[in-house]
Chain A
Amino acid sequence: MKQFSKIFRILLCLMLSVVLVLSMSSIAMADEAKNEEVVLEGTNTIVNGDEVVTFEPVAQNQGMALYADMSNGYFYLENLVSGKKWYSVPIDSDIDPYTAGKNYTNLRSQVVIEYISASEVAWSSPQFANSYSDASFEVKKVSNGICVTYVFSALGISFDVEYTLQNGYLDAKLRLDSIKEDEFKVISVNVLPSFGAGNWEAEGYLFVPDGSGALVTFNNKIITTTNYKAMVYGTEATTVEETKKTNTESIRLPVFGTVTENNALMGVITQGDAVSYITAVNGHDRCGYNAVSSIFQYRFVQSQLNMFNKKNVNMLASPAVGLDAYTVRYYVLDGDKANYTGMASAYRDYLIKEKGFTKKTITPKFHVRTLGFYEEKASFLGVIPYTKKVALTTYSEAMEIAKDLTESGIDALSLQYFGWSNSGITNKKIPNAATPVGTLGGKKAFASLVDYCKQQQCVLVPEVDLLTFQKNGNGVRANKDAARTVFGKVVRRSEYILSNYVYKLQSDVTALVSPTKMDKVFTTYLESLKKQGITHVNLGNFGDYCYANYYLKDEQNRSLFPQKAEEILKKYNDAGIAVSVSGGNAYTLPYVSRVTDVPVCSSGYDMFDIDVPFYQILLHGYVSYTTKPIVQTADPKVTYLAAVENGSELLYNGMHEEASELFDTDYTRFYGSTWRLWKDTAAEQHKAYYPLQAKVADQEIIAHTEVAEKVYLTKYANGVCVAVNYNKTDVVLENGKTVGALNFIEWRENA
């Protein structure tokens, strides 16, 4: 035992000295870097326990350099401006006093795979293997980088990952055609799980794009049963679970990052984003490292209850066909840019440069999600069944609401008219026509509503759901054109019982339009919009749902959904129709003028320390966005304040009918929606907030920070500053200004 500690001590000394030398040399280099191209230094060797890593220069480009070990593929990415080195696996893991077990081997691996035996899929669950303990490596040089072949010989699995230095970023690319497998099938690959990991002493934070965005402070000591892991663009909509126990927010952006000491490493999943997860580990008593990374889901495993033995049986879906590689880009940021605001702006630059994201003209609005009508089964004396259409807001009542709100001082009004056509709020058949319905007053009444809106500069946006349906018809067949599971079963979604989270058996079940049929549905609707002369539409959950069709005869992998969606949105744009969506997955952003229902918080996982408005920082000044319907959020006042903090537009659910009429229906979720109930509060909020909105509408958010406990400061490019106080007491800021309790103030600084 004593001998051991002696060796350990020697190694520690050795290591520390190496680190010292390295850091000194990097400081020296940073000084040089300012003016001229640096000549790459020679190899440097690091001893990490039993591993001796020899880094040699591989490529250099735009202030970044890549060094790699040609025997095991370990590399580091150096920011030549700041001198920060981002290691693909931590080089001090051997002296880590905390990490043990699975965390330890994963930490020292460049890839961690999940696999399953092809012949035993049905009854077994996936296993994990990592490159540190289970794989051998073949490393070869390619232009601007290296290509590492990971060979898991015991499993018969091997694949290549290329790490190359491109124009301003490092690319990690897993080519799908390089995946070789035999009996054991790859399910997922966690690429670079500990790239840029901060150790047990480091200061900094991880950024995860959960909901609006959240930060995990390094070593926050919070122990959770599972590490954070969530799917990009939300959970697969075709997975119907027996129980749904929690409310969570989805990931909308395929971005993650690590920030430490004025340096940041930002990962952007550029290929295969729809089949990826983002995962994070935080430092605590059993884990010395803080890291965020992405997982590529090569195959999906689905399970179904076996009727005979009441056990779940698994089946593998086809691999991600149609996708040629899984690619993650890593950008390095430093100085002013090394924070989440900087990352948001760097990601925005990426979207602008590569995805055609543009600045839209923005006129801030106050939104009312006006509820049209719903259909329910009814019967005359219980004998003659018929479909009852219950109007919540007719066209003329919508006009009445608009007039009344305008009179109350809400002038910049926008009506998101939901359930105004077809079968109302809940689709029966898939909607195929954007035409007014008699239940709400017919064509004439609708025309006068349109006229009124035109005169009053009130924007009327019909909202429609073109993804879910319950009945055969309008060119979409209930069975054949619906998304199915691997087992060939049509995916039927239903509501959950609120008290015990169990899937409701009796209620109407909803199917999803198969992605292969989507194009037809949206084109049909587009034609109708054009005919009706409607120029603005809210496609609702089209910005929220992302899913696959696993049915072998009509299969489409989830990775192809974004591409399909983009094609459709492009058609709408080409036809001159402005599109809004709710949720707003990253791929929709270049095509939409507004995103509705953007959360102002994250899912609040235990591991997270603080929520940040990353999503809002990304969009502000480019595309406008609204909150979720305010009255129905946990704390309406807080949501309003968060909207001010994040520069969101306000959204209220509104209807003309008395809310008590929904008392014994399936629509109790619209409690408090009658416009009279919230009119006064909303008018006050609009009056206080709108002048600020008008001032900063087209401005980027350049800084966002907590200036005092529960007081947040947002600064816009034109120098307008907003401080929002969530405390129940007034707070005096450092600049002497006082922010009232549960209120905000604004002022202008030099930009």
Chain B
Amino acid sequence: MAAIALLAMPLTVGATPLSAVPYTTYDYNLYDESVVAPVGYVPSERITSSSLGLETPMSTPSDIYYDNKESIYLLDSGNSRILVLSTDLKLKEIIANLPDENGEPAQFPAAEGLTIGNDGRLYIADTGNERVLVYNADRTWAYTLTRPETSRLEEDLLFDVSKVSVDNRNNLYVIAKSGNKGAFVFDGEGNYLRLFGGNTVVQTAEVIMKYLLRPFLTQSQLEAMASSVPITISNFDVNEEGFMYTSTIITGKTTVPAGVIRKLNYLGRNILDEEIIFGDREWTRNVAGDRSLTTFADLDVDEDGFMNLLDQGRGKVFQYAESGELIAVFGSYGDQFGQFGNNPPALETIGKSVCVVDKEKACIIRFEPTAYAESYREALLKLEKNDFTGSLEIWQQILEDNSNNTNAYYGIGSVYDMQGDYKQAMKYFKIAGDHVAYSESFQEYRNIAIKKAFIPVVSVVVVLLIAWFLVKKFRKKKAKAVSTSAYSKLESKYTFPLYTLFHPMDGFSQLKPRKIASWRVSVLLLLLLFVVFTLQYFLTGYIFNLNRLVDYSLPIMLIKTMGIGFLFVIANWAVCTLFNGNGNLKEITSVTAYSLLPLEFAMVINVVLSNFLAMTEGAIMNIILVVAIAWTVLLLVCGLSCIHEYNMTQTVISVIATVFGMAVIVFLLIMFFSLLQQTGSFVYSIILEAIQR
């Protein structure tokens, strides 16, 4: 027994099932930060020249195509041949010595694209020779496509074809590497038809902005702006229904813009949500040797409509549902099983498994979904079809595998919502971070609560109204005795801000003669602003509260409230000293602080309201806020004109100058601190040097 037949051990490369993968697996949370997720896809097999039993090893394999039946075609361009594999990736046939138009063996060592038509025709995008070779199903030469000779194409449009695809009407789509007008479309006979699906210019507003700025820019700045030319399609895939999925080359961006993957209908219109961001979202510090820019070199849509995107920049495959949910991220650059060599050119899905062609390592790496990814895919499919049967169980299973999965909480929430258990639904929507869904459930929940509580609430309101009338009557009698003059004793320096609230001109003009401006009250009111902002941060109802509680920063909040307030005061004081204003610092502070009162009231009201309103009713809060801001501005302008003894024009000019003054102060402060910091680091490095020498 001990004669272990080790040497007879089969040479099954990477046969041992993996319990660990060399790459990190993650999902994005609500704040676009990567969090740990279970492994979605594991590498299961590496298909090399020796495992295929090839005599001539593969050389720069560059594309792969699965005919969705029984054959996989691998473009072994270095050897100018095509390998045909079965679905379990065993070698079936080698297509070598394909003839060219002269009957000679065609050489396409720099070919990058390959596809097979429904009629069995074979198309090779021979990038190096700027042509597309087309063969009949019996491998005889059909025709060769070169750059269409038509005046409809711009002169400088090259035919450096890289990818080919055929739709179900046998139209051939060809992408040229340098083209940015879209794909060339040819009919089944090789006649040029049109250009298709050219990406529109990104973000119109940005382009207009740049156009306006153009005259003011230097040459180098203009060159840096070159990215506003239309962007290029890098690859495409046509699914069975004839929709074409395209990926876009992203230039000059450190983060991926939205909408780089598009699903085009026959008219060339994108039917995917334009807001979806594909690929990595975290910005990378510039680290030497880091190839961090995302480049989707290939994409493939699998049988269930999930999109697999090959990010050549980061060496990863991303799998998305059509709705934009990230299912799995797998692969990375490196020399371990499941990692790629430089710039993997292509991927293809076979069933649920994903095969990535590795040009440098000259192999195919096959990835299989884990149980987690399979159930996640199934659940999302059900969700898309609004099929809720048994989905509670599936989502719960997904939570077992990955308690970090926001969609699982959303899914469970939806099920509860369907069942009418709005309280549970709200709980799960809250964990999922879906404010809209939460709001909808909340509205239902509130309606039920109101129905239940209608009679008690109405009776309480009636009682309260009666009580209010009584109190008012009683108070009127009491107050009458003292309100003989305009400025009663009730209006001490503490209640004065309430007076100015409704009588700004009258009130603020009393500041000087009555010397009623108070440091204490002003500072308290500014402090109140800080308190109100903080309350708003924490106590705004969930539906309207998009703040992340852990992100709260005391210093920043202080600067945002009291800091800006004082900055305004100081700037205004400085400016008005120049403009012959008569207000002193104390008065300016008072005016500023008192004017903030409407804003503060409004925010408190909004905080309370936000806990009872649904998202659709949010407009009420906006109206309150706008009114309050207008009121505050009015008070401020009135107050300033009173204490500085300005007319309206002077006041407006002084306010504008104040804002400018604030900017100057901030600039000086920043300069001062950065100077201080630089001096500090200089001294530190000298000390370090002294210690280490």
Contacts and interface: CB of A to CB of B under 8 A. Distances in A.
Q: Which of A248, A382, A628, A702 has its CB near the most chain B CB atoms (within 10 A)?
A: A382
A703 interface: yes
A706 interface: yes
Given A500-B280, A606-B337, A663-B404, A749 B1 contact: yes
Given A660-B431, A709-B15, A633 B20 contact: yes
A267 interface: no
Interface stretch (B3-11, B462-470, B592-600, B624-632): B3-11
Given A220-B13, A382-B554, A677-B400, A502 B336 contact: no
B258 to A, nearest CB: 17
Interface in B362-409: 370-371, 399-404, 409
Interface stretch (A138-146, A239-247, A397-405): A239-247
Interface residues of B, number: 86
A121 B42 CA distance: 43
B538 A245 contact: no
A118 interface: no
Contacts of B38: 632, 634, 671-672
Given A603-B336, A672-B402, A705-B6, A307 B552 contact: no
Q: Which of A308, A611, A639 has its CB near the most chain B CB atoms (within 10 A)?
A: A611
A392 B11 CA distance: 47
B121 interface: no
Interface string A639-680: 101100000000000000011101110001101111001100
B333 interface: yes
B226 interface: no
A545 interface: no
Nearest to A704: B4
B17 A638 contact: yes
Nearest to A222: B48
A381 B18 contact: no
Contact of A247 (B3, B22, B48, B688): B22
Contacts of B284: 500, 502
Nearest to A724: B17
Given A224-B335, A605-B337, A671-B402, A382 B537 contact: yes
B50 A498 contact: no
A502 B35 contact: no
Given A246-B334, A339-B4, A382 B553 contact: yes
Interface residues of A, number: 90
A709 B333 contact: no
A499 B6 contact: no
A330 B449 CA distance: 81
Nearest to A377: B550
Chain A facing B: main interface SS? loop
Contacts of B287: 242-243, 502
B36 A669 contact: yes
Contacts of B537: 382
Contacts of A690: none
Contacts of A638: 17-19
Interface string B323-359: 0000001001111111101000000000000000000
Contacts of A336: 2-3
B501 interface: no
Contacts of A381: 534-535, 538
B29 A664 contact: yes
B10 A633 contact: no
A726 interface: yes
A638 B368 CA distance: 13
A606 B335 contact: yes
A383 B336 contact: no
A635 B39 contact: yes
B290 A243 contact: yes
A372 interface: no
Given A383-B534, A498-B26, A339 B6 contact: yes
Contacts of A674: 403
Nearest to A552: B692
B140 to A, nearest CB: 35
Nearest to A214: B16
A217 B8 CA distance: 11
A710 B2 contact: no
Nearest to A221: B50
B281 interface: yes
A246 B538 contact: no
A182 to B, nearest CB: 23
B593 to A, nearest CB: 20
A245 B17 contact: no
A488 B688 CA distance: 9
A429 B535 CA distance: 34
B473 interface: no
A660 B403 CA distance: 6
A487 B49 CA distance: 48
A360 to B, nearest CB: 26
A631 B38 CA distance: 9
A157 interface: no
Nearest to A702: B2
A509 to B, nearest CB: 16
B334 A245 contact: yes
B252 interface: no
B282 interface: yes
A601 B336 contact: no
Q: Which of A217, A505, A706 has its CB near the most chain B CB atoms (within 10 A)?
A: A706
A382 B552 contact: yes
B488 interface: no
Interface in A673-720: 673-674, 677-678, 702-706, 709-710, 715
A672 B400 contact: yes
Nearest to A488: B692
A709 B12 contact: yes
A637 interface: yes
A601 B18 contact: yes
Given A659-B403, A709-B15, A634 B552 contact: no
A427 B581 CA distance: 60
Contact of A383 (B329, B333, B554, B681): B554
B2 A497 contact: no
B144 interface: no
A566 interface: no
B337 A604 contact: yes
Q: Which of B18, B21, B57 has its CB near the most chain A CB atoms (within 10 A)?
A: B18
B11 to A, nearest CB: 6
Given A382-B557, A637-B371, A642-B19, A248 B336 contact: yes
A638 B10 CA distance: 21
Nearest to B539: A381
Given A500-B284, A709-B10, A601 B19 contact: yes
A426 to B, nearest CB: 16
A259 interface: yes
B361 interface: yes
Contact of B22 (A497, A604, A671, A673): A604
B87 interface: no
Contacts of B13: 220, 222, 609
B79 interface: no
B650 interface: no
Contacts of B337: 604-606, 608
B360 to A, nearest CB: 8
B404 A671 contact: yes
Interface in A310-356: 336, 339-341
Contact of A487 (B17, B20, B409, B692): B692
Contacts of B404: 659, 662-663, 668, 671
A501 interface: yes
B281 to A, nearest CB: 7
A205 B6 contact: yes
Report, nearest first, the 5 A-B pairs whose CB atoms are least far apart: A659-B403, A604-B337, A382-B552, A498-B34, A498-B26
10 contacts: A222-B48, A242-B287, A245-B334, A501-B24, A634-B21, A635-B42, A642-B17, A706-B9, A709-B12, A710-B12
Given A379-B554, A502-B287, 4 more contacts: A488-B692, A500-B280, A500-B292, A604-B20
